């Protein structure tokens, strides 16, 4: 049994937490089997490689990985708890590791999220983490120190198949793996997110599926989202989140712009109401409800205090700087 409160606090403070025996041995063997075949197919030089090889894990060719990432609720729910908001699953980065990787962190775009590191082919003790290096005030300073990696006060983590190491996307870490291991690393982004880096993220993921250096094409998004509305798993929710979030953040930006630069209560309120539509869809998706129509009244029933502030009060109460500001900042806080 995991202490969820401890894990949430440790993740926020240190940028990582270790959870034991989350996946079963059978699940790890199944992931390892489908990627052992996939890596041999994609990389002809695999036996001789001393540097990592990578594949995305949401293609039709890797159905077990795809199902565990989004159709299975365990990791997605855990991501929500660690991030404290709705989360969007991304294609797992699956690595064939041998040798060393330099110190690095995983997100150059400023997106908030969590990555789960799972060794599926055997125990490993070569993972090194730098506690609290995910914090903005530390992240750039660490860059000057990693030129002397042997002096870093890193924490070694030993894991067995089925254990998860949850890391913040900005945590500095490295691998030293003398024997080949397959590392399965599903990733979840906090949602809604700033649409500009989010689009950049999706573009990078799409590019990861293109043919490169003789590798076969590995479609990243198309396979996974194809027919999502007809599934009974979580892919439908992910597809809905992809549609809802980009409508929300630009509207909030407009609301803040008109409030701060013009003090225009009416136009600010209009943009908040536009944002409330997207936030209502996110609320329904998080509650696993359909979002086809009447999102705002149904979201009001689920979260009356919040949607009264950003919806009913803006329509029915006299607009004051105080209640419009409360709606604007409440909407921003609600995005995570």
- The full DSSP string for 43-60 is -TTGGG--S-EEEES-ST
Residue 224 inside a domain? The answer is: no
One domain, residues 132 and 39: yes
* Residue 268 pLDDT: 83
Residue 215 inside a domain? The answer is: no
One domain, residues 286 and 176: no
* Residue 226 pLDDT: 53
SS3 212: coil
Q: Angle at CA 234, nearest 5°, toward 251 and 292?
A: 50
Radius of gyration of the chain (CA): 22
Residue 214 inside a domain? The answer is: no
Q: How far apart are alpha carbons 56 and 87 in whole angstroms?
A: 19
Helix, strand, coil distribution of the chain in percent, nearest 5? 50, 20, 30
Domain boundary among 175, 202, 229: 202
One domain, residues 244 and 316: yes
pLDDT in 10s for each residue of the chain, 336 residues: 466 789 999 999 999 999 999 999 999 999 999 888 888 887 888 888 877 888 877 777 788 888 888 778 899 899 999 999 888 887 788 888 888 888 888 887 778 899 999 999 988 888 999 999 999 888 888 888 877 888 888 899 999 999 999 999 999 999 888 888 899 999 998 875 555 566 556 555 544 444 444 344 444 445 555 555 555 556 666 666 655 655 566 677 677 667 766 678 888 888 888 778 877 877 777 676 766 667 888 888 888 888 888 888 888 888 888 878 777 766 555 544
* Residue 216 pLDDT: 43
Instruction: Tell me the HSE value of 67 on the side-chain side, using a 13 A CA sphere.
Output: 11
Residue 114 inside a domain? The answer is: yes
One domain, residues 65 and 196: yes
One domain, residues 185 and 242: no
CATH number of the domain encompassing residue 122: 2.60.120.620
One domain, residues 291 and 198: no
Q: Is the peptide bond before 129 cis (omega within 30 degrees of 0)?
A: no
Q: How far apart are alpha carbons 328 and 178 in whole angstroms?
A: 52
Instruction: Tell me the HSE value of 268 on the side-chain side, using a 13 A CA sphere.
Output: 24
One domain, residues 78 and 168: yes
Contact predicate 66/57, CB 8 Å: yes
* Residue 196 pLDDT: 55
* Residue 141 pLDDT: 85
> Which is it for strands 16-19 and 155-159: parallel, antiparallel or unpaired?
unpaired
Evaluated on CA atoms 101, 47, 30, 121, the torsion sign reads negative
Count of domains for the chain: 2
Helices (H) and strands (E) counted in the chain, each on its own, are 13, 8
Residue 319 structural domain: 237-334
Residue 180 inside a domain? The answer is: yes
One domain, residues 33 and 158: yes
Domain boundary among 185, 202, 219: 202
Contact predicate 299/312, CB 8 Å: no
One domain, residues 311 and 171: no
Domain boundary among 146, 180, 202: 202
One domain, residues 59 and 160: yes
Distant-in-sequence, close-in-space partners of 114: CB < 8 Å, separation ≥ 6: 11, 79, 82, 83, 87, 166, 167, 168, 169, 187, 188
* Residue 220 pLDDT: 47
Residue 133 inside a domain? The answer is: yes
CATH number of the domain encompassing residue 256: 1.20.120
Residue 232 inside a domain? The answer is: no
One domain, residues 249 and 311: yes
Residue 98 inside a domain? The answer is: yes
One domain, residues 183 and 264: no
């Amino acid at each position: 049994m995991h202490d969820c409160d401890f894990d949430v606090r440790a993740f926020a403070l240190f940028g990582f937490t270790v959870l034991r025996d989350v996946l079963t041995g059978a699940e790890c063997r199944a992931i390892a089997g489908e990627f052992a075949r996939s890596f041999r197919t994609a990389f002809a030089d695999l036996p001789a490689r001393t540097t990592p090889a990578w594949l995305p894990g949401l293609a039709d060719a890797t159905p077990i990985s795809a199902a565990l990432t989004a159709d299975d609720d365990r990791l997605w729910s855990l991501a929500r708890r660690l991030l404290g908001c709705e989360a969007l699953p991304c294609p797992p980065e699956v690595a064939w590791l041998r040798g060393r990787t330099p110190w690095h962190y995983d997100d150059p775009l400023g997106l908030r999220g969590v990555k789960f590191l799972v060794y599926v082919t055997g125990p490993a003790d070569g993972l090194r983490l730098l506690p609290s290096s995910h914090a903005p005030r530390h992240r750039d300073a660490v860059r000057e120190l990693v030129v002397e990696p042997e002096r870093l006060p890193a924490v070694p983590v030993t894991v067995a198949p089925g254990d998860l190491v949850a890391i913040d996307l900005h945590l500095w870490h490295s691998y030293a793996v003398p024997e080949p291991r397959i590392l399965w690393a599903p990733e979840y982004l906090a949602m809604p997110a700033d649409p500009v880096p989010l689009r950049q993220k999706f573009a990078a993921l799409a590019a990861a599926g293109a043919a490169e250096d003789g590798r076969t094409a590995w479609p990243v998004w198309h396979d996974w989202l194809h027919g999502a509305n007809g599934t009974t798993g979580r892919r439908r929710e992910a597809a809905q989140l992809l549609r809802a979030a980009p409508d929300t953040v630009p509207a909030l930006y407009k609301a803040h712009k008109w409030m701060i630069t013009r003090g225009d209560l009416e136009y600010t309120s209009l943009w908040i109401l536009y944002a409330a539509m997207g936030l209502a869809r996110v609320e329904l998706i998080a509650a696993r409800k359909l979002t086809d129509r009447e999102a705002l009244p149904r979201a009001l029933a689920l979260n009356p205090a919040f949607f009264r502030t950003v919806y009913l009060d803006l329509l029915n109460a006299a607009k004051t700087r105080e209640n419009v500001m409360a709606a604007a900042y409440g909407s921003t806080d609600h995005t995570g």
